[in-house]
Amino acid sequence: MTKKKTILSGIQPSGKLHIGNYFGAMRQHIAMQEEGDSFYFLANYHSLTSLNDGQLLEEYTKDVVLDYLALGLDPNKCTFFAQSDVPQTTELAWILGCLTPVSLMEKGVAYKDKIANGLNPNIGLFTYPILQAADILIYHSDLVPVGEDQKQNIEIARDLAGKLNRAYDEELLKIPEEYIVKSVATVPGIDGRKMSKSYDNTINIFDEGKSLKKRVMSIETDSTALEEPKNPDSCNVFSLIKLFADENRQHEVAQKYRAGGYGYGHAKKELLGLIQDYFADARDRRKELENDMDYVHDVLREGGKKARERAEEVMEPIRSVTGLFRSFNYE
């Protein structure tokens, strides 16, 4: 029997998750959980690069765990854990950092984007890709399903694995294949820019009632009058409808746009109904889980233990070749 590939991906708990996160990342994670030996984690060390409020980080972490479980991540099929439960990750990140040229980080596109969007330019943010490389390499991951925006970080991880192996002349780390999920184009936010927590333009997965309605109704559209024909392909509302509706429904709505007499308000109501239906079961499951936090903690505890054991197997030989003194054993 061939060995199952190790699949790994993470998501930062730095805010409420939105439908861009769902279609761009989470849906693929959930779909792939049975395809290999899958590891999914909450990148909470990464969240510290932009969030320094302990209570808020705890709250977002809890939210993301509940979101994933409610949306169908099954801890019996994959290892689901918090990054902070695997301290070997930061240990490896330090060692990798000592082999990383500053010039490599200076080429980081995500860093420049984040600063341009007002994030505080701290060293954690600057060296974010090194920590991400450690996340990937510490489990000998084969595949890393992520969106197009993460491509550079995966290349950096491959590069750093090679640097460590060459520095100590041993195959200490496995070089992961690239794996970029291309199935979904960038999901637009209510203002037409990329939907992102940083732009306050999101529709959150578990928004409901009035607040969901308010978000959907405030999606920006052009000023074509109700009776005029409209182009669905240039409309944010239609881009979102396409994510939720089956092909027949998409076709019907597109025809209504083109025929005229169908306003953006109608389209928004259509979208609202679609979102409500799409996440209805997950919403119920999330409420049940919220009342069973012991179970949720058990999931993370078990996942953390499994992830730590795997990480330790990879870390121990690295400690040994680097010549770092140690007078105790882990676990």
The catalytic residue positions are: 114, 194, 197
9 lies in the binding site for ligand TRP (CB under 6 A): yes
Q: Which does 127 bind (CB under 5 to 8 A by kind): ligand TRP, ligand ADP, none?
A: none
CB–CB of 147/181 below 8 Å? yes
Sign of the C-alpha dihedral, residues 217, 223, 226, 228? negative
12 in contact with ligand TRP (CB under 6 A): yes
75 binds, among ligand TRP, ligand ADP, none (CB under 5 to 8 A by kind): none
3-state secondary structure of 169: coil
CB neighbour list of residue 83: distance below 8 Å, 6 or more residues apart? 10, 41, 42, 43, 44, 45, 46, 89, 135
Nearer to ligand ADP, 20 or 304 (CB): 20
Among 30, 130, 146, 299, binds ligand TRP (CB under 6 A): 146
Q: Is 147 in the site for ligand ADP (CB under 6 A)?
A: yes
Stretch that binds ligand ADP, among 23-31, 66-74, 205-213, 219-227 (CB under 6 A): 23-31
Q: Which is nearer to ligand TRP, 90 or 250 (CB)?
A: 90
Q: Cβ neighbours of residue 201 under 8 Å, at least 6 residues apart?
A: 189, 190, 191, 193, 195
Q: How far is the CB of 203 from ligand ADP (least distance, A)?
A: 10
Strands 78-82 and 37-42: parallel
Residues 26-55, one symbol each (x = binds ligand TRP by CB under 6 A, - = not), give -----------------x--x---------
> Per rule CB under 6 A, is residue 21 in the interface with ligand ADP?
yes
Please provide the distance, in angstroms rounded to a whole number, between the alpha carbons at the two ends of the chain.
31
3-state class (DSSP) for residue 8: strand
CA–CA distance, 69 with 286 (Å, rounded to integer): 8
Give the interface segment with ligand TRP, choosing from 9-17, 50-58, 71-79, 180-188 (CB under 6 A). 9-17
Q: Which strand (E) or helix (H) includes residue 315? A: helix 293-322
The correct pick among 49, 132, 201, 239 for binding ligand TRP (CB under 6 A) is 132
Q: Among residues 146 and 271, whose Cβ is nearest to ligand ADP?
A: 146
Select the residue whose beta carbon is closest to ligand ADP and give its number: 24
Mutual orientation of helices 109-116 and 128-137 as an angle, nearest 10°?
Answer: 130
Contact residues for ligand ADP, defined by CB under 6 A: 11-12, 20-21, 23-25, 146-147, 149-150, 184, 186-187, 194-198
